[in-house]
Amino acid sequence: MDARSLLQQAAVVDLHNDTIVAHIRRHNASLCAPGATLGDGYNGVISGPYGVQHPPEEPLQIDLPKMRAAGIDVGLFAVDVTQAHNAHLAYALDGLGFLLHDLALHAPEAVLVRGAQDLEVACQERRPGLLLAVEHADVTQGSLNVLHALYALGVRSIGLTHNRSSCAADGCWEAREGVGLTAFGVRLVQEMNRLGMVVDLAHVSPGAFFHALEVSAAPVLFSHGDARALCDHPRNLTDDQLRALAQRGGVIGISYVPTFVDPKAPTLERLLDHMDHIVAVAGIETLALGSDFDGGGTLIAEAGGIETIVAGLLARGYAEADVRAILGQNALRVLRTVLG
């Protein structure tokens, strides 16, 4: 089977994009209806004090039509609140509210993924599935009550940090030797487990990573990153981390950020090398896709480019069943388990 046919038949999940904020910063451009906008009357936190407007002509890598065309069934749509300083929650609500409004206006057929059954609807009926995510636990303002409110809104994944430290854990840029989760971070992970929310360890320090694996009763995601053995970047996972992730049934979404792939020569072949390495160290069941589209994942130009990854894997001798696992089945296993 060729790459295009396999993509159209397989369940495909992308574990991370930053497209909500990217669309807001292009004058509230719709994710659902190219050319449409929600209008300037909806300017808020993201496009206001913490916003940087980008010209509309700057290309965006993923939206709902591009998801459909590429064969991507489910995407984790994240809002990174790190830069919002004392307005983390308001920043998140601004982004999430924009997306929910856009869906209501322009894509009522889309599936907001709140539970495992929604994953099946998205994949079987080929309707775009969107899982709401937030990066950086300071969105909770240190309160589990806020976590419950975010859950009620539809958020189903939270990243504990975003490079810099949070109320839950050290970030990978501020890692301290031997330091794991904070006391609140432990309670947060436990409550996310109880609610059925995905714990995302992308961006956390090594100490927080291993501590979270000990604390979490459910499999976790490392939604976007690569192999540190091939590219010594603090955002990537060491072989010990990859093996630990595999032992707990988690997955890593391979990232298309060039600096995570190779500091000098980031190429598709080098990205495939990272995939080969992760499979060799942690097993085929640990590898998934985590593009980081509209957030730096530019090694693949836009959503349709995942066909080149599929073609590359087939050329390297991967069986069709293994490619299907990487494209979506591994991620779906974790999401089904956690979301219940």
pLDDT at residue 37 is higher than 80: yes
Residue 173 identity: W
CB 12 within 8 A of CB 327: yes
Instruction: For residue 101, give the H/E element and its range.
Output: helix 88-106
Q: Both ends of the chain: CA-CA distance in Å?
A: 33
pLDDT at residue 34 is higher than 60: yes
Task: Provide, rounded to the nearest whole percent, the portion of the chain with pLDDT above 70.
Answer: 96
The residues near 289 (Cβ < 8 Å, ≥ 6 apart) are 12, 13, 14, 15, 253, 254, 306, 309, 326, 327, 328, 331
| Tokens (6 digits) for 274 | 């990272």
CB atoms within 10 A of CB 52: 8
According to the model, what pLDDT value does residue 44 have?
Answer: 78
- In this prediction, residue 100 has a pLDDT band, given cuts at 50, 70 and 90, of very high
Calpha distance 334→330 (Å, rounded): 7
Calpha distance 189→191 (Å, rounded): 6
Least confident of 19-33, 107-121, 316-330: 19-33
According to the model, what pLDDT value does residue 53 have?
Answer: 60
Q: In three state form, how does the secondary structure of 130-180 look?
A: EEEEEECHHHHCCCHHHHHHHHHHCEEEEECCECECCCCCCEHHHCCCCCC
pLDDT at residue 97 is higher than 90: yes
Least confident of 47-61, 212-226, 257-271, 274-288: 47-61
Calpha distance 116→142 (Å, rounded): 28
Helices (H) and strands (E) counted in the chain, each on its own, are 14, 9
pLDDT at residue 289 is higher than 90: yes
Q: Which three-class secondary structure state does DSSP give residue 11?
A: coil
Calpha distance 93→103 (Å, rounded): 15
According to the model, what pLDDT value does residue 40 have?
Answer: 67
CB 113 within 8 A of CB 74: yes
Classify residue 231 by its DSSP letter.
Answer: S
Average pLDDT over residues 29-56: 76
According to the model, what pLDDT value does residue 51 have?
Answer: 64
Long-range contacts of 91-94 (CB under 8 A, 24+ apart): 91/45, 91/46, 91/50, 91/139, 92/134, 92/139, 92/150, 93/153, 94/24, 94/44, 94/45, 94/46
pLDDT at residue 148 is higher than 90: yes
According to the model, what pLDDT value does residue 47 have?
Answer: 76
According to the model, what pLDDT value does residue 236 have?
Answer: 98
Task: Please state, rounded to an integer, the average pLDDT across all residues of the chain.
Answer: 94
Average pLDDT over residues 251-273: 98
- In this prediction, residue 285 has a pLDDT band, given cuts at 50, 70 and 90, of very high
According to the model, what pLDDT value does residue 54 have?
Answer: 62
According to the model, what pLDDT value does residue 297 have?
Answer: 97
Name the pTM for this structure.
0.96
Residue 298 identity: T
Q: pLDDT tens-digit profile of 155-186?
A: 999 999 998 899 999 998 887 888 899 999 99
Calpha distance 71→60 (Å, rounded): 17
According to the model, what pLDDT value does residue 99 have?
Answer: 96
Average pLDDT over residues 33-50: 78
pLDDT at residue 55 is higher than 90: no
